Every structure is written in structure tokens, then in C-alpha cells.
Chains A and B, each alone.
Chain A
Amino acid sequence: MCLSVPALIVSVDGEMADVSVGGAIFRAGLQMVENVRVGDYVLLHAGFAIEKLNEEDALETLRLLKEMDDAMTE
């Protein structure tokens, strides 16, 4: 219940969407997020999308981690 997981929007129907978590399909309410499209990732919590995941920020976080990784292996 308390878990929030990244979920991929696979179809949108008004304020509801079908989202996929590793291939398992769940229903999600989109009332709290804006401009969500098929292919976006959202955080799914207790049947609602509570935020859209920001791809740029995610990639930036990973980039920083990898940079640190490269620095350590030099």
C-alpha cells in the first residue's frame, strides 16, 4: 500500500489510465498530474499517479553516479 513504484502509461482514458509495472497492468487516477501521455513514466501510489517522473533529472542523477564510478576506477 505504501509503496510507490515507477509505472509506464500504456493508455489514457480521460482522468484514468492503464499503467504497466514490469508488464503487470494496473489502473491509475491521473487527477494529480498534468500533460501525461502514453510512454511517460509516473509514480504509482495506491491507485493514483502522484507525480510524473522527470527523465532529465533521472539521467542526470545516473550521470553523476557514473562519473563518480569512472573517477574511482581511474
Chain B
Amino acid sequence: MKEEKDKLRDFMQGVFQDYEVAPEPEDWNRIGKTLSKGKGRRILPWIIWASAASLLLLFALYTGGILNHSESIHDLTAVNEHKTVKTPSSINTKLSKKESVKTGSDNKPLATNQPLEKINQSKVKGVVVATVKENKIVNAAKVKSVDRSIQVTKTVEPKNTLLASNQTKEILKDVSKDKTITVSTDQTLLSRSENNNLTVHAITPRSIELILNQRKPYKYDFEGLKYPFSGQLDGNLKEALANNTTSVKFKGFSLSNNSGLIVQSSGKEFMSYSGSFASTLASNMFANSVKVFDNSLLSSLNIGNLFQNNSRDYLPPVTFGLNVNLSLENNLSIETGIQYTRLQSSGSISISSSNTIQFTTSFGYKVDENLYYLGVPFIINYNFAQKRKTSYYISAGFSIEKGLIAKYKATPNDNFPGMEPIYSHNAIMGLQYSMHSGIGISYKFIKHFELFGQPSLTYYFISGGKNTTVYSVHPLIFNLRTGIRYTIK
């Protein structure tokens, strides 16, 4: 019985081992149709989700929800804010009720007949223009941005004329001995004379005492650094100063805490100080190692704005992507994801301060610019060769990118004590559209995941941003696209 069963099985298996029935063409058509439908069903939700995620990302970036940096240049404010004016007591005690002190950028009166001590307490910001009359400040005005390099447009009134017109001072006739007139602020001091009043114009790095003595020799005393003025001792001080041809090589100045100019003066002569006085003074200050860099002055500079129109060297853009790739038929695939681009360039700028004090200070800086973009690519790939885990493909597509931030590092060419690199950043406005085509190679390092590298020729459309970038200078450029790709079969 058992033998019969086994025989039947053997017989049947032998008979039907190679049993085949030829299918009809329509059988495959039906299967092919189902497969295509299935693929369509897979693609549709994937595209919907990918598109929705991309749009959400772009919307968030565009509205500044993720990174929002102010691109505006901050108003150039006082060099040293909220610093208490240290005024020598000698002045304070000598102030009369006739004092008139102005402060603020609009030169509105800060106070009238106000003791200087009161000004101190008000924490005057900014540069002060002061007028001294017989040992008293009769006019002081806050000035914005004497220090602020190229941005120095809001300048001291009467600025150039202050020195250029050789303001004068008539020293009291009855002064037969040294007399001290002291004016001090925490900021740049610009003072002028009106009629018989003393005019002094200078920028000081810190509290400095200038002693003007009718008797020989004139001396400037900078915090104990005795600097003998070697000019003409007799006669007109103005000429003595003006005729001093000391070259101005002042390259750095600072308005630091407790800055101020203390002027001590005596004499009977009618004196006026020209611009060369300030230059000489500054030069002497520099020569006497009173070189204190207050980086707070420069650190708030918007390097990006200064750098925009300067020539520079660009490095090729590099784009790193985390992409999802969906295989289609005939070795085609579509790809999207998120990509991160870094643009690098370097150049130089010169930050100068000029025109308010009759001499120019220039600082040379090497600037490194880094721009960061986040975007979404839409790519179609054609895989034309494959060897084991390595694939070769050609690719074409377009990208929408949003600039995240432009970062700048300005490294000073000079090496003054305390001089440090300046860092600043801007927002990058507008969306950057581009089209790209390239040839790539990918390597599958684990299941579904590939590393890819793809030199591409990319055309960047003009964006709405105002940053000068390699995109705007070279719209058609080779770049390297690289990243990790997740492939859905």
C-alpha cells in the first residue's frame, strides 16, 4: 500500500515536474498594468509629502522663523556708552551758571546753565563737542560716530571748519603764570573757541593732560608721558603748531573709557590751533605709545556691508545634501531633500576715519566671508552604469535656496596692542534659484544609503538679496554637489 502511494507520488512528480503552460500575452499586460499602478500609488504620497515638507521649510526660512538676523546697519552710536564723565574737580568747581552744554546728535541743548557734574550723572553718550570759555564749558554737543570709520557721516558740527578755519583763543591778558584750563569728557573732545575763547580739537585715547604753557618750553603731558613740544617757543602758538611738520602716521586711535583731553593753558597771546595741531597731537600720542585700541568701536561695524563692493577671491561652492531618491523605470530616478551650501570668499577692506578731526586713520583688514544657504533640490537622475555598489549617473534639476546667514571675519593687517579681529554677520535676503546639470558617482555603503559626489554646472538666477556672492558675479559656475542619499526602490 505504502509502496503504491510512493509509486503514485513518484509517477505524478515525474509527469508534472516540467509541466508548463504557455501564458497568453494579455497575462503579462495585466501584471504590468498592476505593477505600474502600484508604483503610481507609491510615488504619489511620497511626492505630496516631500513637496509639503519642502514648502514648509522654505516658508519657515522665508519668513525668518528659523534664523533671523538683522541686516540693517545699526546706527552709529557713541563710542563709549554709559560712561561716567570723569571731570577733574578743578573744572567742576569752576563752572559757572553761564555754562551751556549741548548734547545729542541733533545738538539740542542738553542743559542750560547746568553744572558739568550734572552732565556726568546723566551718562552722556557719544562724542562731546565742548566749548571752553574762561575755564568753563560753554557749549558741548553730543556727536554720533566720530569713530565709526567709513560710516562717519554724521560728524561734528562744525567739524572741519573747527580746525580749518583756525579757531582762536585769546588768553587772558593778566595771566602771567601758568594757568590751567581743563576740559575733560569720556569721549572725544572737540572744543572750539569763540571770540576770546580757547579752541582745542583733538581725540584722545584716554585721559590726557595737555599743558600749554606760555613759558618755555611748551609741554604736553600725556598721562605722565612728558612730551616736550619742540616747536617755536615764542610768538604765536598757532604758527608754532602749524609749522610743525611732523608727519602724521597715526594708525590707530581709541576712545576708551575715561577718554578726554585736559587742556591747561595760560598766557596772554592770541592763539589759534590749526588742524595740524590735532594731527600733531595725535601723532605725538601715537609716538608716545598711547595706543589703546578699543575694539568695541570696531566690533560693531557691519563688515559685510563694507565688503560688498570690494573685489575678492571666491572658492567654488560646495553643496552637501541629505536626499531621498525614488527609483523609477528605465534607470531613472527622482530626488529631493535638503541641501546645505557654503560659499567662501576672501578679500580686504580699509576702514578709515577721516574728516572730522583733520587726519585720517586707516585700518587694513583681511576679510573672510562665509555665506550659508539651506535649500531644496528637485532632481532627475539617469543611471547609465553600475558596478557592484558603485553607480554612475547623469543628473539635472533645479534648486531653491534660502540664505541663512553671511558671516564675516575681519583680521587686522596691523598688530597694534589690543587690536583684534572683527566679527559680524548679516542676513541674506531673498531666495536663490538655480538650475544644475552634472555627472555623478554614488557608492552604496549600506542598504538603501549612498554617498554621492557630483561635479555640476550650475546657473544661478539673480536673487533679490543684496549680497555680492559668487552667484551674482559668476552666475554660471562649476560646483560640487555631495551628500548622502536614501534610495527607495
A and B form one complex: no
> Which B residues have a C-beta under 8 Å from some C-beta of A?
none
